[in-house]
Chain A
C-alpha cells in the first residue's frame, strides 16, 4: 500500500529525515517510536502533503507517486492524518466541516454526495460506535475543545472518512487514561484487512491498547531498528538515549 524509499527531507536547510525506508501492507498496523526531534512529525507531514519541505526519495501509495499529489488529492486517495494539534476554525460548525469534508472526498472519487439526512445517520452511527458524545459536533470546530475532545474529534473524523491509510501523530499526547482507552478502542474498531495505520508516538502506553504488527525506532532521521511489539517494551526499559 505504502512504500517509502530513501526519503530525505529538509526544512529551512536543516536535514531532518536522512534516508528513511518503510513498507506498509494493507491491514497492517505500524508504530513509529522515537525521541523528540527525531523526525516523526516531519514524516507524517510529508506523507499528508504539508508544504514547505524540500523532499527527496520515493513514496508510492497504491502504486502512485505520492509526492506529485496535492494535499487534498492525497486525502481523496484515502490518506488521513490525525493531527497532533488539531486546528481551531471559529464560526465553522463541526458537523458542517465534516459534511463538507466527506462530500469533497466523495465528489473527487465520483461517488454520490451525502444529503443532510444520510450524513446525520452516518455521524449518529459512528459516534455511538465510538461512544462519543454527539453534542460536540454542534460546536465550532475545535474551538474551546479540551485536549481530549480534540483528539476524539480527530478519531471520529477518521472513522467517518474511513481512510485506507490513517496516520496518527502523537494522538496519545495530552490524553488522560480514560480518553486514551476510548481513542484506542476507536482505532481498533476501524482495523480490518484493508485499512492500514501508521501510529507515531513517544510512549509504549498507547501500544498496549493498539497492538501494532510492527514497531520501528526512528532516531536522527532514520529507522534504526524494526521489530514486533516486544521492541516497544524494550525501548521503554532502556530509553531512547541508550538504545542503539
Chain B
C-alpha cells in the first residue's frame, strides 16, 4: 500500500513536470553542509570557501544579530512556517571541486541543463557578446569574456573569487547598503550567503557589454542565498542582467538573495531581472519563495540607478528593489512587470528614499493577476526635509484576468519637504471579452490574444529591457498566462 502511494506521488511528480517547461533536475553529486543553521555551519561554509577572517567575522556578526530577529509577517501573502533548522545552507556540485579553466572543461550534464533552459553558454557568449557568469546551485561555474573585461579594468567574477582576489573592494563596500543589522532575511543572507556575482567598473569606464548572470536552483531542500555586489566608480556605466529559472521541486524552496548596488559620482547602473522560478503547480503546491533584498545606493552626485524587473515565477514573490538617493541630483528608477497566475502571490514594489537635493525618482509598475492569484503593489516614496526640489512620479497599473484573482495597491508617501513634489497615478483594468473577441476575429487564438494584450499593457516596462532580454521576456509574459483564459 505504501509503495502504491509512493508510486502515485512519483507519477504525479512526473505529470507535474510536463506542465513546467523547466522542470527537471540534474543528477550531480552534491557536497553539502550539515542540515541546519549554527555557528558551526557558518564556519563550515567560510572554511570550505577558504575565506579570510574578516569575512567569517562579518558572517558571525550577522548570525548573532539574526538570532535576535523575528521573522516578519506583515506581508500580504502568508506562507507555512519555515523550519530554518531543516534546510541545507551550502550545496555545491561535486564536479566543481577542481574549478574548470574553460567552458570545455565543464561537466557535460551541467552544460546540458543550461541548454534545456535555452541558454547555451558558448553560443550565447559567442553570438551575443555577453559575458556570462552562471550560478549553478551556489557556485559560479563559468565566467567568460573575463579577459576582454580585464583589459578595461572591469572586474566581473564570483563573489567567492572577489573575496580572495579583491578583498579591499569587498571589505570597503559589502554590507554598506544592506548592513548585517538589516531585516530578518537580509541578515540571514549576510550570515550564510554562498556565492553570487561581483562587479567593479573603474572610474570613467563604460562597460562595453551587458553583464549577465543566470541563477539556477538545483539541489533539493537547498535554500539559495546569493550575494551580489556591484560598484560603479565615478563616471562609469554598467548594465547588468539577471535571469532565473528553476527545476521542479515538491517542497517549497526559500530564496533570500541580497543585491547591493553602489553608484559613485556621475555613475549609472542599470539592473534588469527576469525571474521565472517554479511557481508551484495548478493547485498551489510547491514553488519557490522569492524573498529577495535588492537595494541600490546613489552615493555620488548625478548618479543613477535603474531597476527593471519581470517577475513571472515563484509561489510567493516578496521584494522591493530600492534606491537610496543620497547624492545631489541623483536619479532612481523602478520599472516592474509582475505576473501572478493560478495560486501565485506577489507583494512587490519599491522604495525611493530621497536624501540629496534635486533628486528624482520614477516608478512604473504593471501588475497582472490571473487565476486565483493575488498581487500587491507596495511602495514607499520618502522625501526627506533636506531633499529640496526633489520629484517623484509613480504609475501603478493593474490588469485583472477572470474574477477570482486580486490586485491591490498600497503606496506609502512621505514628503517632508515643501519644495518637493510627488505624483501618483493608478489604474485598474480588466481584459474584456470584447477585446478578446476582436482579436479572435482577426485570427488570433485565445492565448495569442491574451499575450498581445498583456504585452501591450506592459510595453513601457518591456521597452526598458536590453534587447537580449526583451524578446525572452515577451515570450515569458505569454507563457506565464497560458491557460488563464477559458
Contact = CB atoms under 8 A, between A and B. Distances in A.
Most buried by B among A70, A91, A140, A157: A91
Contacts of B435: 87, 89
Interface in B387-437: 432-435, 437
Interface string A66-93: 0000111011100011010011011111
Contacts of A104: 442-445, 448
Contacts of A90: 456-457
Interface in B432-463: 432-435, 437-445, 448, 452-453, 455-460
Given A97-B452, A100-B448, A100-B452, A91 B459 contact: yes
A68 to B, nearest CB: 15
Interface in A198-223: none
Chain B contact residues, majority secondary structure: helix
A1 B440 CA distance: 22
Interface string B133-162: 000000000000000000000000000000
Contact of B440 (A71, A93, A161): A71
B445 A92 contact: no
Nearest to B459: A91
A168 to B, nearest CB: 13
A70 B448 CA distance: 14
A50 interface: yes
Contacts of A48: 441
Given A87-B435, A91-B459, A104-B448, A75 B441 contact: yes
B443 A105 contact: yes
A101 B453 contact: no
A34 interface: no
Contacts of B452: 89, 92, 96-97, 100
B310 to A, nearest CB: 15
Interface string A128-169: 000000000000110000000000000001000100000000
A243 B448 CA distance: 46
A84 to B, nearest CB: 12
Contact of B443 (A72, A140, A141): A72
Contacts of B458: 91
Contacts of A92: 452-453, 455-456, 459
A231 interface: no
B436 to A, nearest CB: 9
B457 to A, nearest CB: 5
B456 A71 contact: no
Contacts, number: 75
Contacts of B438: 83, 86-87, 89
A108 B455 CA distance: 22
Interface residues of A, number: 32
Interface in B170-197: none
A186 interface: no
A39 interface: no
Contacts of A71: 437, 440-441
B444 A101 contact: yes
B457 A91 contact: yes
B435 to A, nearest CB: 5
A70 B440 contact: yes
A19 B443 CA distance: 29
Nearest to B449: A72
Contacts of B448: 100, 104
Contacts of B443: 72, 75-76, 101-102, 104-105, 108, 161
A101 B443 CA distance: 6
Contacts of A91: 455-460
A9 B164 CA distance: 77
A75 B440 CA distance: 8
B430 to A, nearest CB: 12
Nearest to A141: B456
B444 A49 contact: no
B447 to A, nearest CB: 10
Contact of A50 (B432, B437, B455, B456): B437
Contacts of B459: 91-92
A137 to B, nearest CB: 15
A15 to B, nearest CB: 22
A202 B455 CA distance: 38
A100 B441 contact: no
Contacts of B445: 70, 72, 104
A226 to B, nearest CB: 27
Most buried by A among B437, B439, B442, B458: B442
Contacts of B457: 90-91
Interface in A103-143: 104-105, 108, 140-141
Contacts of A102: 443
Contacts of A161: 442-443
Contacts of A105: 443
Nearest to B434: A87
A46 to B, nearest CB: 12
Given A87-B434, A100-B448, A157 B442 contact: yes
Nearest to B438: A87
Contacts of B439: 89, 101
A97 B445 CA distance: 13
A51 B441 CA distance: 12
Q: Lowest 8 A-B CB distances belong to which pairs? A: A91-B456, A92-B456, A71-B440, A101-B442, A75-B443, A105-B443, A87-B438, A104-B443
23 contacts: A49-B440, A51-B437, A71-B440, A72-B444, A74-B441, A75-B442, A75-B443, A76-B443, A80-B441, A86-B438, A87-B434, A89-B453, A90-B457, A91-B458, A91-B459, A91-B460, A92-B455, A92-B456, A92-B459, A93-B456, A104-B445, A108-B443, A141-B456
Interface of A: 48-51, 70-72, 74-76, 80-81, 83, 86-87, 89-93, 96-97, 100-102, 104-105, 108, 140-141, 157, 161
Given A83-B441, A87-B437, 5 more contacts: A48-B441, A51-B433, A71-B437, A72-B445, A108-B443
